[in-house]
Amino acid sequence: MPEAQRSFQDSLNGEKFDEDLQKYLAMALDLGADDAKIIGKEDVIIDERIVARCFSPRCSYYDTNLHCPPHSWSVEETRRIVDRYQKGIFILLKVPPEEMADPDYDNPDKHKIPGAMKMYKMVATIQSAAFYDGYPFALGFAGGPACKRVFCPKVECSGLTQKGCRMGQKVNFTMHGVGMDPITMASKVGWKVYPIGKKTTPDQIPYGVEMGLVLIQ
């Protein structure tokens, strides 16, 4: 028999909030994360230079989907939104080096990225669990490539039309798409992230990473 749902008001208890954070931490690990940390809102690093990198050099997914610039909210809005939260679950997933270091990375016919899909699913699952636990403003961010590359690489983004996003609750903004700096955040919690570019070969790195974040009020 499923567990009875709490009212939103019942989740405002401080002790219960701490227990729930531990539950979401364990959930991330159970879903396959290599590590996860409970962080405070002050640990969410926001930097205008992150979004600047969407423009220069121009990302191939810029202006192609609902969740990337220029359609995502501004860095200033990100700061205001993050400030309304207390804690977050920061998630790390290590992926095989060849999944990220490949010249055909942006070609869905030649290259698959199951790790990115897995991170989107982990973030959506934890966000949903928090909502049903009584946290209506739980908000998730994937850390990998644009949702266009992961979910809809061969079709036009319906989110940019009046039809709305065809993926519904499965997708979120990426951390970097709204100005968050997951690389520096990772450094502060002791995770290693290796630079990967078009010239990187799989034998140059031990692994690639996908990161995600779920904010809980």
The residue type found at 43 is: D
Average pLDDT on 172-195 reads 95
Distance spanning both ends of the chain, measured CA to CA: 28
In terms of pLDDT, which residue wins out, 103 or 4? 103
Q: State how far the alpha carbon of 29 is from the alpha carbons of 117, 155, 181, 192, in Å.
A: 16, 33, 22, 18
pLDDT tier at 150, thresholds 50, 70, 90:
confident
φ, ψ of residue 37 to 5 degrees: the values are -135, 145
Q: What is the pLDDT of residues 63-87, one digit of tens each?
A: 888 888 888 889 999 999 999 999 9
pTM (2 d.p.) = 0.91
What value, to the nearest 5°, has the Cα angle with vertex 46 and ends 194 and 52? 75
> What is the percent of the chain with per-residue pLDDT over 90, rounded to a whole number?
61
**Residue boundaries of the structural domains of the chain:** 9-216
Closest-CA residue to 123 (of 91, 82, 161): 91
How far is 186 from 39, CA to CA, in rounded Å? 11
